[in-house]
Amino acid sequence: MTDKLWGGRFDEDITPDVLDYTLTTDVDVRLVFADLWQDIAHVLMLGHREIIPAENARAILGALLRLSERHERGELRLRPELEDVHFNIEQMVIEDLGREVGGHMHTARSRNDQVSTDARMYLRRVQLDAVAANLALIDVLLSFPEEDLLAILPGYTHSQAAQPVSVGFWKTAHASMLLRDVRRLRDVFDRTDESALGACALAGTSFPLDRELSARLLGFRGVLSHALDATSARDYLIESAAAFAIGGNNLSRMAEEIVLWSGHEYSLVEVSDAYATGSSIMPQKKNPVVAELTRGRAGRTAGTLVQLLTMAKGVTLGYSCDLQDDKPYLWNAIDTYLSTLRIVAGQTRGLRFNSERGEDLCWDNFSTATELANYLVSDHGLPFREAHHVTGSLVGALLKRGATLRDTAAGAEILAGLGHPVEEQILARLFAPRAAVTSYTSPGGTSPQSVEAVRAELRQAVQGHGEW
């Protein structure tokens, strides 16, 4: 017999390297609060149902409260030789009260229902933190001054200049995307928020448990009834990882724009000095490292999702130790996602857009050519396809001359030659990026009034989530 809590049937103890290979005390540090609360709820339920004697329940609760106080003071240390948080806390209770009394705590439960309950409690917290961090970032994105409504940026498709947009339009686009991350996190929260406690090892128990009671004491929305499913399920954890991975990807796309646009060739945006670092050799450098890391670290969150899917896919129902490999990677994804959300909020607050440069690029890159095609449709009655062709011919001819849409004299002359004369002043008006932006008044478009409408819509949605 070994002196392990499970040692009755063993002649020999595990070797130190086996312990080292199998323990989870290092990752379980984050679960101590949940495990203690869970023990308290379980023992209250056991006492209430008279499954264990009331005086034992009372003594165990006293020991658990003492442990909670120690934990709050930062004095509770998990011993690796006790494998995991569950054995550690049970051992501490037994050391405090003796086996006669403390040994009652583990009645009618298993580490299999415990670990899932702990992870669900911790994840709920993380999901709410991620919702709050997203809402804070969305707030930064939506708090732009009125000038941003007509501060011009080239909008791109295929990484080629497409049509002019405004800085406000860009900011609301990212806010709109992040709001979906918030919704996704809330959806995942709903499925995480179910108690596995009382499922026991896999098949339930003959003790008359009140699973509803312990679930309610732990603030769960309800019980995940089926004992085998409750102890086996890891999809709540995988979909959390999916929410973090998608969120990380969305932040990465914004980061990519910032990295690209802060290069000299674009010169569209600059991060504040606090979010950049210099070079050890090249004195002129200002590297947007926070945005680069945001982009790179989406690899961690995506990798975690793949790791979890792969880890779980071959595990038959009922706990297998494969499943304990869920936590270390997920913890890493959580830390990455939360720290990224927070730093991106700070970086976003200090972004400086160069809208003159944006306007120049729109002129130089024919970003408003579509406006002429639209004009030929509405003013000259041309079918859009024909108008597209005429405008395309104009662009081709200007490019051959090394000219741009700024050269309205050349433009007017070429159009006359094509049999579709348009006055120079009209071209100047049509091709002005600000005029184009102002004219895109369709719902969800880039005009100031459309952006204001979307901003109001987003603010209202944020309000709803904030009150949740």
Residues in contact with ligand ARG by the rule CB under 6 A: 24, 84, 111-112, 115, 319, 321, 323-324
Hunting for tokens 């954890």 — which residue is that? 237
Q: Which residues contact 2 (CB under 8 A, 6 or more apart)?
A: 10, 11, 12, 13
Quick one: 319 or 329, whose CB is closer to ligand ARG?
A: 319
* CB of 270 vs ligand ARG, minimal distance in Å: 46
Which residue's Cβ lies closest to ligand ARG? 324
264-269: long-range pairs with CB below 8 Å, 24+: 266/357, 266/361, 267/354, 267/357, 268/153, 268/154, 268/353, 268/354, 268/357, 268/358, 268/361, 269/351, 269/352, 269/353, 269/354
Burial class (CB in 10 A: 0-12, 13-18, 19+), 443: exposed
* CB of 217 vs ligand ARG, minimal distance in Å: 21
Quick one: 34 or 437, whose CB is closer to ligand ARG?
A: 34
* CB of 58 vs ligand ARG, minimal distance in Å: 28
Q: Compute φ and ψ for 222, nearest 5 degrees.
A: -175, -170
Quick one: 111 or 455, whose CB is closer to ligand ARG?
A: 111
Q: Which residues contact 154 (CB under 8 A, 6 or more apart)?
A: 161, 162, 164, 165, 268, 358, 361, 362, 365, 367
Strand, helix or coil for residue 19: helix
* CB of 3 vs ligand ARG, minimal distance in Å: 18
- For the chain, how big is the Rg over CA atoms in Å? 31
- SS3 per residue for 329-398: HHHHHHHHHHHHHHHHHHHHHCCEECHHHHHHHHHHCCCCHHHHHHHHHHHHCCCHHHHHHHHHHHHHHH
Give the catalytic positions in this structure.
158, 279
Quick one: 309 or 435, whose CB is closer to ligand ARG?
A: 309
* CB of 438 vs ligand ARG, minimal distance in Å: 58
Query: Is 445 in contact with 380 (CB distance < 8 Å)?
Result: no
CA distance 454 to 172: 7
* CB of 452 vs ligand ARG, minimal distance in Å: 50
* CB of 321 vs ligand ARG, minimal distance in Å: 6
Quick one: 24 or 450, whose CB is closer to ligand ARG?
A: 24
Query: Is 123 in contact with 236 (CB distance < 8 Å)?
Result: yes
Quick one: 15 or 284, whose CB is closer to ligand ARG?
A: 15
Quick one: 134 or 324, whose CB is closer to ligand ARG?
A: 324
